[in-house]
Structure 1
Amino acid sequence: MFLRQSSRSLRQASRCFSRPPIAGPATAVYPSRRFHDTRPLLVVKPVVLADIGEGIVECEVIQWFVEPGARVEEFSPLCEVQSDKASVEITSRFSGVVKKLYYETGEMAKVGKAFIDIDIDGDAKKEDLGALSGAPPSGSEESPQSSALDAEMTRAEGMAEAPSQITNMPQQSPGAVEASKPKGKCAMLATPAVRHLIKELSVDIADIDGTGKDGRVLKEDIYRYVKQRDFGAANMDASSPAPPPAPQAAPVSRQAPASTPGAQTETRVPLTNTQLQMFKSMTRSLTIPHFLYADEVDFSSLVELRTRLNRVLSQSNQQPQTPDAPQVEKLSYLPFIIKAVSMALYQYPILNARVDADPANSDVRGKPSLVMRSQHNIGVAMDTPSGLLVPVIKDVGSRNILSIAAELARLQKLAHAGRLSAADMQGGTVTVSNIGNIGGTYVSPVIVEREVSILGIGRMRTVPAFDESGAVVKKHVTNFSWSADHRVVDGATMARAAEVVRRVVEEPDVMVMHLR
C-alpha cells in the first residue's frame, strides 16, 4: 500500500513539472521559470553630492577640474563647490570616464542629487556592456520572460534618459563651450567675489592679465579690462561709416515725454552666495531675544605686555625653529582676548551652551533643553573680499597664546584667499567680533544661531584718566559689547562673566597662572 501511494505521488509530481517543448525551426527550447531577477549592473554611475555642512541643502559650483570624456581615478578631484561661505573640493568615488556634468560653473547644485556621471568601465564595447548588465549574447534565443523583462528595462531607461535628451537638444555656442572649460591657474586663484564680478560683467577671466600675487586676478584688473574694451568698441563705432539717413516718417501728434533730469532709477542685483547665506543665518538669529551689555576695559597693561612679547618674539624668530613650533611673526591683542573669554567660560559654562528647542529632542514634558559643551570653540568674525566669514578656533582652552595666534593667522590667510574648508567654519560655541580693527567704538552684535553669547570689540582709544594718587595718566581704553540670549542668560550672569574677562585683560599676568 505504501509503495503504491508513493509511486502515484511521483507520477503526479512529474506531470506537474514537465512542460511541453516549444517547437522551433531547429531545436526545442524549454522556457525557464525565473522566480527572481537580480538588479542588473550599471556601467554609468551617478555621483551624488553628499552633505558637506550642517543643514546645507545647496552649494555653488565654483569650478570643474574635469570635462566630459576625461579619465578620472578614485579620490581624484572633480570640482570645487562653495557652501555656507566655505570652499570644498569634491573627489571621485569611482575610476572611469566622465560622461556628463549636470551643472555649469556658477550654478547651484542640490545636496543628495547627482552632479556628475562616471563610466566605471571606461571605453566599453557593446558586447562587454551586454555581458556586464546580464543581457544574453547576440545570436541566442531568449525566453518570453527575459524578453519582456528586457523590454520593460528598455522603456524605464528611455523614460530616465528623456529629460537629459531634452536638455541636451539645444546646441551650445562655441563661446559657451569655451566658458565651461577650466580657466587654468588664474581661475583657481580668483576669489569668490572676483568670480561673481566676472559673471556679472560677462567677461572671460582668461583674457585678463592679473596683477596680484602669483598672477591673481583682482577687481581692479576686471574694471580696467572692461574700460579698455568699452573704449575700443566706442572707437570702432566712431571710425565706421555712418548709415544712410532713414526716410522721415509722418509727424506724430503725441510725443514721448522727456525724461526728468535727476530721476530716481532702481537696479535689481541678485544676492551673492555669501550674502544669501548671511541673509538666512541672520534671519534665524533674530528670532533669539537679545540683550546688550557694554563695559570699558583698560588695555594699558596689555599694551606693555604685548610690546615686550613681540620684542622677544622677533629675537626668537631669527634663530632656527623646530617644525612643530607655531610660526608667529607678531602678536596682536585678539589672541589675549580670546584666551580671556575661554577662561571666563570655565566659570560660567552656560555661555558656552546652546538651546535645543526641537520637540523631537525635548524631554518627556516637551520642554526645551540646554545642551552644555565641553570644548571652547571660539569663532572669529573676519572681513574678507567675499564678505563676512566666521571661522572657528577649536579647543581654545587647551591652547596657549602662541598657538591661538598661529591658528588665527592660518584662518585669516585662508579666509582672504577664499579657501576655508567646511571644517574650519563649523562647531563654534562663542563668537568674537573685532569691529574696532576697522572702526567704531560701540557695536551691538547679533548672536549666531546655535550659540547664546557673542562679544563685540570696539576701537582702542587713548584717554586721560586719574590713577590711585590722583595724577592724570594716559590710558588705552576699549569698549566690550556683549549680546546674550535672554531666554537662558540673565543680566547678572552676563555681567559677572564680562567682569572676569575685563579683569584678565587688565591684568594679563593672571593668564600665566591658568595656563593648561
Structure 2
Amino acid sequence: MFWSHSSRAVRQQWRVYRGLGRRAAGPSLPLPLSPSMARAFHAARPLLAVKPVLLADIGEGIVECEIIQWFVEPGARVEEFSPLCEVQSDKASVEITSRFAGVVQKLHYDAGEMAKVGKPFVDIDIQGDAKEEDLGALVAPETPPQQQESKSKTTTQAPVRPPAEETAAAQVAILTEHETQSAPPKVKGKHASLATPAVRHLSKELNVDISEIDGTGRDGRVLKEDIHKFVGGRDAPATQAPSAAPSATGALTPSEALAAGPQQETPVALTRTQEMMFKAMTRSLTIPHFLYADEVDFTSLVELRGRLNRVLSKAGLSDGQVSKLSYLPFIIKAVSMSLYKYPVLNARVDVDSASAANNNNNNNTNKPTLVLRSQHNIGVAMDTPSGLLVPVIKNVGSLNILGIAAELARLQALAVAGRLAPQDMAGGTITVSNIGNIGGTYLSPVVVEREVAILGIGRMRTVPAFSTVPGEEDRVVRRQVTNFSWCADHRVVDGATLARAAEVVRSIVEEPDVMVMHLR
C-alpha cells in the first residue's frame, strides 16, 4: 500500500514538472495546474466538497411542500443562515435558510414543484467559489500536432471582408440588425419575480408568467394590479375583434351566441389553501356535530368599547400596542374565562394514545381518551387573499384585552401578507369564527380536527326590546344584538354542558365589567 501511494505521488509530481517545462518553453501554453495537486504530497482522500441540503421537517406531519420561489441560483455565493427559497405547505409559507457557507451548485426543484421532506433540494459547494469548469480550464490539454497545425492556419488566415460593391441600403440594414441583436435585454428589479402567495395564485389562475410582468411595487415587486393590467392589455385585441363585426345582417351578437351555445366546463386546480381546507374539512365532518344558538345583547359592550377607544386615541395611552379595539378581543377573553369552568370544551379526543398505552399491557381495546389541556390556545378564522386561514392566539388566559388585540393584529397582518409561520397556526384548542364582519346572522360552523367546540359570531343588528330596568319594563329601548352559534363534538360534549358554557360567555359579554374582576 505504501509503495502504491508513493508511486502515485511521484507520477503526479512528474506531470507537474513536465507542465512547468512546457510553460517555460512556450508562453502560449497555460500553466498545467490540476485540481488533484492537493493529493501530490499525501495519500489521504480529500473531504467531500458538495453538501446536499435536506428539506427539514417543518412540523404538523407535513411530508411535502411547494417551492414558491428561489432566492439563489447556481453559482451564487451564500452564507450560513442565508435564505435559499420559500416553500408553502398545507399550513403556511416558510423561508428555508442555508446550513452551510459556500457556492450553490444545483437546484433539485424548480419553482412550483413539490419537494419531499427529508430529501435534498439544493447542493452547496462548501470549499469556496471555485467551480469544476474553472478548475478544468487550468489543465493544459495535450493537443495532437495535426490539430495544432490546423489551429495555426485558421488564426493566421486573413478575415474575409465584405465586397466593395455593397450598396448603402444593405449596409444600413446590416447596421440596424447588428444594433437590434446587440441591444441589452430589459433589466427588471431584483424583486420582479417576488410576490405574495395571493399574487402568485392569481397569476396561476390567469395563466400568466409572473417574470414577464413589470412590477410597480417596492424594488419592482409584482402586485395584483400589475397582473390585472397585464392581462387586460394581453386580452384587449382578442376581445375587441368580435365587437368590431357588424350585426346589421341579423347575425347573433356575442352575448346571444354565448347564451345559445352549449354549456362549457373548465376544470381548475385547487390552490394550496383550498387543498388544505379540503383535507381538513373532510376529516372534520367525520365528527358528529350538534348546533346550539343564542342571542347576545352587545349594548353594554358597545358602550365600554367606545369609552376605551376614546382613551386609547389619546396620545401616549396606546402603550405601543393598539390604538383601537374591536369586539373580537372581548369575545375571545370571555370564551377563555368560560373554559376555566368547563374545561371539557378545551380538550381533544385521542384514540391513538390510549391504544399505545394499552399495547404495553397487551390489552389493546382502542378505547378513546379525553385529553384535557391547561392552556387556552384559541384559533381565529380569518378571510385572507389566499383563502380561509386559522392562526392561533396562544395562552389567552394569561393575556389581557390589549394583549389579545395586539396579537390578533399581528396575526391578521401576517395572514394578509401570506407570511404566517407554522407555529402561528399550530396548537389550537378551540376556534372562534367571526363571520359577522362580512354578513350573515346564523351559521353552523364545523368543528376543527383535534378540537371539540367552535363558536360562530353573526353580524350585529339593532333591534327594539323592552327595558330591563326595574319599574320600566314597558318601555321600548334600542338594543345591539348578535347571534352566537356554537357547534360541539357530540361524542364527548352534551347539549346541557355546551348550553351552560355558552351562558357564561353570554353573561360576560352582556356585563363586560365582570372581566375587571378576573384580570390576571
- Give the TM-score category using the shorter length: 0.7 to 0.9
Aligned to 1:193: 198
Q: What's the CA shift for 1:110?
A: 1.2
**Aligned CA distance change for structure 1 residues 228 and 48 (closer, same or farther; 3 Å):** same
Q: In the alignment, does 2:213 pair up with 1:208?
A: yes
**Residue 406 of structure 2: aligned partner:** 406
Q: CA RMSD in A?
A: 3.3
Quick one: distance in 2 between partners of 1:346 and 1:213?
Answer: 47
Q: Within 2, Cα distance between the matches of 1:273 and 1:212? A: 25
Distance 1:83 1:303, change over 3 A: same
- Specify the alignment match of 2:301 in structure 1: 302
Alignment of 1:174-189 (within 5 A): 184-188=190-194
Say whether the 8 Å CA contact 1:85–1:273 is kept in structure 2.
no
Whether 2:101 is the aligned partner of 1:95: answer yes
Alpha-carbon distance between aligned partners in 2 of 1:232 and 1:263, rounded to the nearest angstrom: 25
Partner Cα separation in structure 2 for residue 489 and residue 312 of structure 1: 41
Counting aligned pairs with the same residue, the percent is 75
Task: Pick the aligned partner of 2:316 from 310, 316, 319.
Answer: 319
Match of 1:389 in 2: 389
Deviation at 1:220, TM superposition (A): 3.8
Residue 333 of structure 1 corresponds to 327
The alpha carbon displacement at 1:503 in A equals 0.5
The one of 339, 343, 363 equivalent to 2:337 is: 343
Q: 1:341 to 1:320 in 2, by over 3 A?
A: closer
Q: Secondary structure at the match of 1:458?
A: strand
Query: What is aligned with 1:108?
Result: 114
Q: Go from structure 1 to structure 2 and tell me whether the alpha carbon gap of 1:375 and 1:261 turns closer, same or farther (over 3 Å shift).
A: same
**Structure-2 separation of matches of 1:477 and 1:393:** 26
Tell me if the contact between 1:191 and 1:385 (Cα under 8 Å) persists in the aligned partners.
Answer: no
Note the alpha carbon deviations across 1:63-99, whole angstroms, 9 max, x for none.
Answer: 1110011111111110111112411110111111111
* Equivalent residues of 1:445, 1:482 under 8 A apart: yes
Q: Distance in 1 between matches of 2:218 and 2:71?
A: 22
Q: 2:125 aligns with which of 119, 138, 141?
A: 119
Equivalent position SS for 2:487: strand
Question: How many residue pairs get matched?
Answer: 411
For residues 73-84 of structure 1, what are the structure 2 equivalents within 5 Å?
73-84=79-90
Distance 1:42 1:491, change over 3 A: same
Q: Which residue of 1 aligns with 2:138?
A: none
> Quick check: 1:65–1:182 contact (8 Å CA) kept in 2?
no
**Would the alpha carbon gap of residues 233 and 488 (structure 1) be closer, same or farther in structure 2, given more than 3 Å must change?**
closer
**For residue 140 of structure 1, what is the aligned residue in structure 2?**
none
Q: Is residue 494 of structure 1 aligned with residue 494 of structure 2? A: no
What's 2:157 paired with? Answer: none
Residue 353 of structure 1 deviates from its aligned partner by 1.0
- Displacement of 1:443 in angstroms is 0.7
Q: Say which is worse superposed, 366-375 or 287-296, in terms of deviation.
A: 366-375
Match of 1:512 in 2: 516
Deviation digits for residues 417-459 of structure 1, max 9, x if unmatched?
1111111111111110000110000010011111111100000
For the pair 1:70 / 2:76, whether they are aligned, the reply is yes
C-alpha distance in structure 2 between counterparts of 1:39 and 1:375, whole Å: 55
8 Å CA contact 2:190, 2:220 repeated in 1: no
Does the aligned pair in 2 maintain the 1:86–1:418 contact within 8 Å? yes
Distance 1:511 1:413 in 2: 27
**2:232 aligned with 1:227:** yes
Shift of 1:489: 0.9
Return the offset for 1:231.
2.8
Q: Given residue 518 of structure 2, which amino acid in structure 1 is its aligned partner?
A: H
Q: Could you say which residue in structure 2 is the equivalent of 1:455?
A: 455
- TM-score, normalised with respect to structure 1: 0.73
1:41 offset after TM fit, Å?
4.0
- Partner Cα separation in structure 2 for residue 40 and residue 402 of structure 1: 59
Q: Does 1:422 align with 2:422?
A: yes
SS of alignment partner, residue 498 of structure 2: helix
Does structure 2 retain, via aligned residues, the 8 Å contact 1:444–1:456?
yes
Are 1:485 and 2:489 an aligned pair?
A: yes
Note closer, same or farther for the CA distance 1:214–1:432 as it changes in structure 2 (3 Å cut). Answer: farther
**Distance of aligned partners of 1:54 and 1:71 in 2 relative to their CA distance in 1, 3 Å threshold:** same
Q: Distance in 1 between matches of 2:304 and 2:218?
A: 35
- Residue identity opposite 1:102 in structure 2: H
SS in 1 for 2:436: helix
Q: Per the alignment, in what secondary structure is the counterpart of residue 60 of structure 1?
A: strand
Question: Structure 2 vs 1, CA of residues 296 and 235 (structure 1 numbering), >3 Å: closer, same or farther?
Answer: closer
Task: Compute the displacement of 1:109 (Å).
Answer: 1.2
The 1-side partners of 2:485 and 2:458 are apart by 8
Q: Which residue in 1 is equivalent to 2:146?
A: none
Q: How does 1:263-302 map to 2 (within 5 A)?
A: 263-302=262-301
SS at 2:282's partner residue?
helix
Q: Retained in 2: the 8 A contact 1:191–1:386?
A: no
Alpha carbons of structure 1 residues 353 and 390: separation in structure 2 relative to 1, 3 Å: same
Q: Which residue of 1 aligns with 2:350?
A: 356
C-alpha contact 2:190 2:219 (8 A) present in aligned 1: no
Q: Report deviation, 1:358.
A: 1.2
Q: 1:219 to 1:460 in 2, by over 3 A?
A: same
How big is the shift at 1:221? 3.0
Paired residues of 2:79 and 2:98 also in contact (CA < 8 A): yes
TM-score, reference length from structure 2:
0.73
Find the residue that maps to 1:509 and give its secondary structure.
helix
CA distance in 1, matches of 2:188, 2:446: 39
Distance 1:433 1:261 in 2: 43
Distance (whole Å) between structure 1 residues aligned to residue 91 and residue 108 of structure 2: 22
Residue type at the aligned position of 2:79: E
Deviates more, 1:258-267 or 1:70-79: 258-267
Q: Distance in 1 between matches of 2:234 and 2:57?
A: 42
Q: For residues 167-194 of structure 1, what are the alpha-carbon distances to aligned partners after superposition, in whole Å with 9 as ceiling and x for unaligned?
A: xxxxxxxxxxx9xx99733443x22122
In structure 2, relative to structure 1, the CA distance for the partners of 1:308 and 1:55 (3 Å cut) is: same
| Residues 281 and 183 of structure 1, relative CA distance in 2, 3 Å threshold | farther
SS in 2 for 1:476: strand
| Structure 1 CA distance for aligned equivalents of residues 519 and 258 of structure 2 | 70
- Judged with a 3 Å threshold, the aligned counterparts in structure 2 of structure 1 residues 89 and 445 are, in CA distance, closer, same or farther, namely same
What are the Cα deviations for residues 313-339 of structure 1, in whole angstroms up to 9, with x where unaligned? 101xx2387xxx442011000000000
Partner SS, residue 346 of structure 1: helix
Unaligned runs of 5+ in 1: 1-20, 28-37, 130-177, 238-257
Post-superposition offset of 1:111: 1.1
Measure, in 2, the Cα distance between the counterparts of 1:267 and 1:184: 36
Which residue in 1 is equivalent to 2:476? Answer: 472
Specify the code of the residue in structure 2 equivalent to 1:361: A
